């Protein structure tokens, strides 16, 4: 719930047009999108090889998708 609220606030900031807050908010939202894409790719390519990272990809995606 709090993560959805944070994303909503960041989206409002990103749309406000005030450079003090909209630029950093856009960067945060874009970085989140890029991290989700990277974790999805890593999970698809190597998410079941048995290394310590395998469960981390899935956990990160679950958390990031709640944002």
Taking only the tens place, the pLDDT of each residue in 21-61 is 999 999 999 999 999 999 999 999 999 999 999 999 999 99
Angle at 63 between CA 26 and CA 23, to 5 degrees: 10
Between the CA atoms of 47, 48, 49 and 50, what dihedral angle is there, to the nearest 10 degrees?
Answer: 110
The token pair that represents 28 in the structure block: 């945060």
CB within 8 A of 7, min separation 6: which ones?
29, 32, 67
Number of structural domains the chain divides into: 1
Confidence at residue 1, expressed as pLDDT on a 0 to 100 scale: 58
**In the structure, what pLDDT confidence band is assigned to residue 4 with cuts at 50, 70 and 90?**
confident
Q: Which domain holds residue 36?
A: 2-64
Asked if 53 and 42 touch (Cβ cutoff 8 Å), the reply is yes
């Amino acid at each position: 719930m709090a993560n959805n609220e944070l994303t909503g606030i960041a989206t409002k900031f990103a749309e406000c047009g005030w450079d003090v807050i909209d630029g950093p908010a856009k960067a945060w939202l874009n970085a989140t999108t890029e991290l989700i894409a990277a974790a999805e790719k890593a999970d698809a390519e190597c998410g079941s090889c048995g290394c310590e990272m395998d469960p981390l990809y899935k956990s990160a995606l679950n958390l990031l998708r709640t944002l």
